[in-house]
Structure 1
Amino acid sequence: MIKVEIFKIIVVIGLAVSGYAHSQSSFSLPRTEVVDLVDTETKRVYEIHIQHPRHYSKKHKYPVVYMTDSPYTFPIVTGSARYPINSGKMEDLMFVGISWQKGHHGGLSRQRDYTPTPSSPGFKDPSGKAQEHLNFIRNDVFKYIEGRFNTDPARRTYIGNSFGGLFGAYILSKSPALFNNYILGSPSMWWDSDYMMQQQYDLGLNYEGNIFISVGALETKKSKSTQHDMVLGAQTLYSLLAKNKSPALDVELRVIPHANHETAFPTAAIQGLWWLFEVMD
């Protein structure tokens, strides 16, 4: 009899907890919506995350911050920017996160979409479709965002981390003017035997832009967090971009003390945004 009563109590508690859980509202980011976009070239479908500016007005053209690896980067970037924007110390921005292909493994999607060549020692395909993904951003993402919202195409910012940073370096080598600003965290310049370290970054004497490169001080071969010298990769990219740069181009390199590959990006994101969008008194 006692066992039966105890069983009844457990069932009641379980139902109460279940009911409590179902009664709670899920957490969502403020002013944020999610849409699916089809890549008109490849027919792949990508989830796009959009956070509207805090004080959106059709009378004002807003800078847009675009980022890859959105499931990881979007909450970090928007969260870190929320306080300085709300306090009026950073410009009001629109944020757009581009996720991985829907129905596809995230790791394989990013490996395919963000890499410039179809192979790298130790990696298997899919890879090397950076140009296809760049076409998607240029032809589909920009068209959708700039067709719906009052944005300033001359003030686009790209944020990418790791493979996303490598993809940013690829954009800089092929179509730098697509973005006015770049924030590249721990770019994987080692891909395919340092392929992107051997490319030309001729941005032109008329290119006006700002490029923020960062990397954790512990992102070296001596660290357990990476097999590659990410610090050397970031330094090399900085040198290539700073070489023969136009007077209107500003390039910044920051090595984050005590940070490794797993922890460097949040600091890179907010420091890069602050460097670009601080409201000067």
Structure 2
Amino acid sequence: MSFDVIEQLPSKVLGETRVLNIYLPEGYKKNDTTKYPAVYLLDGSADEDFIHISGLYQFYSFPWIKRVPKTIVVGIATVDRRRDFTYPTTIEKDHEHYPTTGHSAKFISFLEKELQPFIEKNYNVSASKTIIGQSLGGLLAAEILLTNPGLFNQYIIVSPSLWWDNGSLLKRESELLKETYAKPTKIYIGVGKEGLVPGDNPRMMEVDAALLADKIKSTKSKNIKVYFDYLPEEDHATILHQAVTNALRKLNPLPDEKAND
């Protein structure tokens, strides 16, 4: 498994250097003309989700499986996920408990203006771009989907922390919901049996995830495909691996599955 590439990317937007763990598929050659889809993995440190998620892409691209094309996985190592993955909240207790929060706009700008251009300049990537995020990472992926949907064409959103700021993200308007939205986009939303979430106003993570899926399904655009997946045997700690496995199958259906979709 070729995940031996570690990059240090200085960011003017964030004012810090970010570590990138990069998985290159078997046969990748810098001077080749072959282009590979890129997956941007939040919480992508080596001791977080990078190794097992890269393994899924390696496994499902084996020639005897061919479920997904050979793919480059960019793991974005975590520095302060509460700072980077949350937008400003109106809930005072959230400010008290998590004083660094509220800077997702900067992180999204980093993804768009620095990280994606860096990867596109230095690696043989195609126009296909996927983001994967769980929990607060899922919140960020959902925020991007609703506020800057063209940044990626596939979204794998797992157990998103939509309780943040009392669920205000679910109330946002989005270009994605308009008939004029033209970019083909596939979205997978997965959630386990996770129950009540933090905060004074009780919310069910399963319900919030379903509300997000329903919101996107209400789009008037014919270019949006949404898959909602409830995994009752998984909880917040165990869900990511199985959810991404399911996402790869749903986002890359076999011919007979397309007929039944």
TM over 0.5: yes
Between the two proteins, the alignment pairs up a number of residues equal to 240
SS of match in other structure, 1:145: helix
Structure with the bigger percentage of helix: 1
- Larger Rg over CA atoms: 1
Query: Residue in 2 aligned with 1:92?
Result: 70
Query: For residues 188 and 125 of structure 2, what CA distance do their matches in structure 1 show?
Result: 22
Query: Residue in 1 aligned with 2:211?
Result: 236
Determine if contact 1:61/1:152 at 8 Å carries over to the other structure.
yes
Q: Are 2:137 and 1:161 aligned?
A: no
SS of match in other structure, 2:78: strand
Match of 1:128 among 72, 94, 102: 102
Query: Residue in 2 aligned with 1:180?
Result: 153
1:152 Cα offset (Å)? 1.2
Determine if contact 1:118/1:125 at 8 Å carries over to the other structure.
no
Query: For residues 207 and 111 of structure 1, what CA distance do their matches in structure 2 show?
Result: 30
TM-score of the pair, normalised by structure 1: 0.80
CA deviation profile, 1:157-185 (whole Å, cap 9, x unmatched) = 01000000000111012210010000000
Q: Are 2:181 and 1:210 aligned?
A: no
Query: Residue in 2 aligned with 1:262?
Result: 237
Query: Residue in 2 aligned with 1:113?
Result: 84
CA deviation profile, 1:126-170 (whole Å, cap 9, x unmatched) = 1110110011111111111100112113x1001000000000111
Q: Are 2:50 and 1:74 aligned?
A: yes
Q: Are 2:189 and 1:200 aligned?
A: no
1:280 Cα offset (Å)? 5.0
Query: Residue in 1 aligned with 2:144?
Result: 171
Query: For residues 272 and 160 of structure 1, what CA distance do their matches in structure 2 show?
Result: 12
Determine if contact 2:25/2:58 at 8 Å carries over to the other structure.
no
Query: Residue in 2 aligned with 1:137?
Result: 111
CA deviation profile, 1:223-253 (whole Å, cap 9, x unmatched) = xxxx741101100110111112411210010
Q: What one-letter code is carried by the residue in structure 2 that aligns with 1:169?
A: A
Distance 1:119 1:266, change over 3 A: farther
Q: What one-letter code is carried by the residue in structure 2 that aligns with 1:85?
A: S
1:61 Cα offset (Å)? 1.5
Q: What one-letter code is carried by the residue in structure 2 that aligns with 1:257?
A: P
TM-score of the pair, normalised by structure 2: 0.86
Match of 2:26 among 54, 65, 88: 54
Determine if contact 1:201/1:240 at 8 Å carries over to the other structure.
no
